[in-house]
A and B are shown apart, each in its own frame.
Chain A
Amino acid sequence: MTRARPIILGAVGVLLIGALWELYKAIAPATGVVIGGVTVLPRSSDLAMPHIATMFLRLGQPVLGDPGSPPLWLAVLQAAGFTLGIAAVSWVIGVVVGMLLAILMQRFRTAESALAPWVILSQTVPIIALAPLVSGFGSQIPGWQDWMSVAVIASYLAFFPVSIGALRGLSSPEVAHVELLHSYAVGWWKTLVRLRLPASVPYLVPALRLAAASAVIGTVVAEVSIGLEGGVGRMMIEFASASSGDPAKPFGPIFGAIAIGLVSAGIVALLGLFLRRYRRSEATS
């Protein structure tokens, strides 16, 4: 029963959001609430807020009117798979870069002083500004493809929580443990492998989860900025322009993005399960 509880609560939460949507749609005026020329509450017309049932029904219908067009859900699924693949690559790049930065900062005090401000500052640069730079550089490399640019741009978001979390984790062993390894006359590398890395896992797992979320968001946004076709990012833009005649259609790729988020969170949770021996301090404290 204790295991089922979070699942039930999660489902109730989703249903509640759906119920609120429908409730608002039912009681708010179709033109929204406008006070002094400013829209305070959004319009609730079918065009602005399609019924949830309409959204799901739309998933079963073909993408376009012409015969042979695949159903929307299939198109969304393919696009979501495409985006998930790029997000996974960007997550891996982000984790590797983040870990290396954290190890460097842990190893050399000066590196921490020199790098830490830049790591934090890096996140204030919007990735939309970064996108043309990356794809510009990439195009000069033979064999470079646009999806690689998207992965690199998204990894720019993903590395950040990893570097911060891993640095905290690598610095977390008590002095007594570090001295114990020192008394064994082992060097920095063995201390890293046997003590610092295992001790960093409780800090790393939440960081990996944040990195996964960042990788997904980064990939969707970068797809839009680069104009890469095939993923849910581009699909959202395309369908949004068609929304005046088909308001439920843009919700397809939104559901796709949500599905990617759930799947990636699930994969990281699975990873955390494999690492659970290193997370005993979490369970007991």
Chain B
Amino acid sequence: MTDAVTVSAVGKTFAVANRGTVVALEDINLVVAPGEFVSLIGPSGCGKSTLLRLIADLDQPSTGTLSVFGKTARQARTDQDYGIAFQQAGLLAWRTVAENVELPLQLHRVAKPTRRARVAELLELVGLTDFADRYPDQLSGGMQQRVAIARSLAESPGLLLMDEPFGALDEMTRERMQNELVRIRHETGAAVVFVTHSIPEAVFLSDRVVVMSPRPGRIVDVVSVELGGERGDEVREASAFFARVSAVREALHGAPAKGVRGVENR
């Protein structure tokens, strides 16, 4: 099976007005297997969101190559191989919950009965069946984010791209959303690339945590989590969990590095 995402020797430089160029990413190598959950973590400016945007074809790399399910990022976007969710839920205020989830299906001319059925299924999945006819402004932040996740899953993508989707939520809602994401991910079997700056969040959700450092944005370490498949709240208390959190923290703070920097050593 082809890998969900293959990033090889990718670099990205941005032109900044009056200040020349800024190197956002340098020599990034990363492979995400089908169904794998990979988190990108690092301080602000480490290029984790930029990397996600490159995979989503919202930006193009300056150097190197990038493929999604063996295709170019552009082709993968055209083929709708991924679903995407941002930090802001980004719901359309004039559409009900159901209509927001329906949006990608409607844009891609999916037949109405199929659409209805799929929306009902997705709302069931994120537990918002009773809120189908509400408008976004009538929902809490956590509920809005769940709508956004349902929307990103609408076309059953093999890859989910998430840019700090829980970043604006309070800690309790956040943990509940994480539990739900673990469940949803196992029900859908999608690969996930998840950008976050929370270490426990990255460890709890991921199969692997990619640790990045800024100026220029590079991968400094990749921590394998190996806490098993379907995780529940009990994992948050497990010593193995804490060990992984420490490992990621050390990698982030530049503790003794293992292996070659900037290269993924899986």
A: residues with CB less than 8 A from B are 174, 176-177, 179-186, 190, 194-195, 198-199, 201, 277-278, 280-281, 284
Check A176–B137 contact: CB distance below 8 A.
no
Check A277–B90 contact: CB distance below 8 A.
no
Q: A194 — nearest CB in chain B belongs to which residue?
A: B107
Interface 1/0 per residue, B61-78 and A, CB below 8 Å: 000000000000000011
B51 to chain A, nearest CB (A): 15
Tell me which of B80-88, B110-118, B178-186, B234-242 binds A: B80-88
Contact of B56 among A176, A183, A195 (CB under 8 A): A183
Check B58–A177 contact: CB distance below 8 A.
no
Check A180–B90 contact: CB distance below 8 A.
yes
- 28-78 of chain B: CB within 8 A of chain A: 56-58, 77-78
A172 to chain B, nearest CB (A): 11
- 74-105 of chain B: CB within 8 A of chain A: 77-78, 80, 82, 84, 86, 88, 90, 92-94, 103-104
Q: B106 — nearest CB in chain A belongs to which residue?
A: A194
B73 to chain A, nearest CB (A): 11
Q: B137 — nearest CB in chain A belongs to which residue?
A: A284
Check A186–B107 contact: CB distance below 8 A.
yes
Which residues of chain B come closer than 8 Å to A278, judged between CB atoms? 94
Please tell me if B131 contacts chain A, counting CB pairs below 8 Å: no
**Range class of the B interface residue count:** 20 to 34
Which residues of chain A come closer than 8 Å to B58, judged between CB atoms? 179, 182-183
Please tell me if B108 contacts chain A, counting CB pairs below 8 Å: yes
A205 to chain B, nearest CB (A): 13
CA separation between A181 and B106, bound complex, in Å? 12
Check B94–A174 contact: CB distance below 8 A.
no
CA separation between A189 and B257, bound complex, in Å? 51
CA separation between A199 and B77, bound complex, in Å? 25
Q: B76 — nearest CB in chain A belongs to which residue?
A: A185
Check B94–A277 contact: CB distance below 8 A.
yes
Contact of B94 among A181, A185, A198 (CB under 8 A): A198
